[in-house]
Amino acid sequence: MANSFELSGTLKVLEETQTFDSGFSKREFVIEVPDGKYPQMVKFETVRDKIDLLNSMSIGDELKVTFDVRGNEYKGRYYVNLNAWKIESGGGNQGGTPEDPQPSSFDNSFDSEPDPSDDDIPF
């Protein structure tokens, strides 16, 4: 899947970096995207070297997030993640450049480990 997508909104949640036993690290964040009467809360994740893109971000910042849709299967369950690889704040470029539109660290393997506490997803 080579398509990239963009969403703009306000940073609402900025989680701490999670590091798994395998050495894999990720950091999740949520932006509020205006959608008429009912704004959408959209969760993204950054992985590997892209985690640093969030270091200068603060709750309430207006962001434009460029991301890929990633999916995997783990123990018979299917997961979809919005994998952010470019984050712009206030019109300034915070990650990636026009000459580097695709993240160099991505490959087609998906090595994120699902959180076992997600077994009781309410939807």
Our CA angle for 14, 54, 59, nearest 5°, is 40
Position 17 confidence tier, pLDDT thresholds 50, 70, 90:
very high
pLDDT higher than 90, residue 3? no
51 lies in some domain? yes
**58 inside domain:** yes
- Of residues 84 and 93, the one with the higher pLDDT is 84
Number of domains making up the chain: 1
Model confidence pTM above 0.85: no
**CB-CB contact of 72 with 78 (8 Å):** yes
Q: Is residue 118 part of a domain?
A: no
Cα–Cα distance measured from residue 7 to residue 78, given in angstroms and rounded to the nearest whole number: 23
pLDDT-based confidence at residue 73 (cuts at 50, 70, 90): very high
Helix/strand/coil for 52 = helix
In this predicted structure, what is the pLDDT of residue 2?
Answer: 63
Does residue 120 form part of some domain? no
Domain CATH for 45? 2.40.50.140
- Of 106 and 52, the one with more pLDDT: 52
Q: Which domain does 49 fall in, by range?
A: 5-93
For residues 11, 13, 18, 24, the Cα torsion angle rounded to the nearest 10 degrees is -40
110 occurs within a structural domain: no
Does residue 20 lie in a domain region?
A: yes
Length of the chain: 123
Residue 53: pLDDT band with limits 50, 70, 90: very high
Residue 54 in any domain: the answer is: yes
Residue 114 lies in a domain: no
What mean pLDDT is predicted for residues 81-88? 96
